[in-house]
Amino acid sequence: MAHLELLSAGAVKPGLAKVIDVFQRETGHKIDVTFATAPEIRKRIGGAAPDVVIAPPPLLDDLVKARKTTGERVIVGRVGVGVMVREGAPLPKIATVDELRQSLLDADSVVYNHASTGLYLETLFARLGIAAQLKTKTTRYPDAAAVLDHVSRGKTREIGFGATTVIIEGKNKGLIFVGPLPAEIQNYTTYAAMVTADGAARDAAREFLGYLATDVAKAILAEAGIQT
């Protein structure tokens, strides 16, 4: 029986937490997981080494170059961007790009993070020609949890953005998942897992990566909105 330390992007938390529960029951291994944004993962990986890291491929590529990770990577899945409002608030129209653009212009405030989702939204709003109009009414946070908290406590016409998985999980926090971005402007972030070079439980870490590739794990991830 081994004790694994796992460092993961937060967007896959809803499905990954359930996969971890099943893996622990079936193997007897213990996993302690820390969820963080991609920038935080980059900082944390320089300190005490976890056994497994789950992050977008570009970040894993950098970790490979720095010899922080080793071996093969296993694709966990991809997650799109979704729109949220607080429970009881009017639902913005987002079915088309034009509807989304107008809803954002009509909103009192727009809320999103500084992580992968937020970086994409910056470029999207510029492409839609509304970056300047949104700038004065935009609030950004380091992570998804703060975005969800802000939107759930809102009092005006606020529109929040985040990973679809995280928004769906936030329904018990007084949030409504309005829907994903329109298909033609949707952006998916892929997440993959790798074993770290300095982890203490290398064999068990490889076992966990193998489990992520099983049909059981993929079904759990898909149910949480993580496309495998």
132: in domain: yes
> Residue 108: inside a domain, yes or no?
yes
Mean pLDDT is lowest, of 45-54, 131-140, 150-159, 211-220, for 45-54
72 & 89 share domain: no
- In this structure, the answer to whether residues 40 and 56 fall within a common structural domain is yes
Residue 228 lies in a domain: no
pTM of the complete model: 0.82
Per-residue pLDDT of 95-130, as tens digits, reads 999 999 999 999 999 999 998 889 999 999 999 999
Answer whether residue 173 is part of any domain: yes
Strand partners, 163: 81
Same domain, 204 and 141: no
Let me know whether 53 and 142 are in one domain: no
pLDDT tens profile 49-86 = 899 999 999 999 999 999 999 999 999 999 999 999 99
Write out pLDDT tens, residues 154-183.
988 999 999 999 898 888 889 999 999 999
Angle at 126 between CA 122 and CA 127, to 5 degrees: 115
Alpha carbon 141 to its chain centroid, in Å, reads 14
Whether 51 and 133 share a structural domain = no
Q: If you compute the radius of gyration of the chain from its CA atoms, what whole number of angstroms results?
A: 18
Provide the domain count of the chain: 2
Beta strands in the chain (DSSP E): 3-9, 30-36, 52-55, 69-79, 81-86, 109-113, 138-141, 158-163, 175-180, 189-196
Residue 37's pLDDT is 84
Both 92 and 154 in one domain: the answer is yes
Residues 6+ apart with CB under 8 A from 135: none
Residue 91 located in a structural domain:
yes
The answer on 206 and 134 residing in a single domain is no
- Give the range of the structural domain holding residue 90, as residue numbers without chain letter: 81-185
CB 217 within 8 Å of CB 74: no
- The reply to whether 155 and 212 lie within a common domain is no
Does 108 share its domain with 146?
Answer: yes
Residue 130 inside a domain? The answer is yes
Domain at 93, CATH number: 3.40.190.10
Q: How far apart are CA 92 and CA 44, in angstroms?
A: 38
Instruction: Tell whether 72 and 119 lie within a shared domain.
Output: no
Backbone phi, psi, residue 55, to 5°: -160, 170
Q: Mark whether 97 and 168 lie in a shared domain.
A: yes
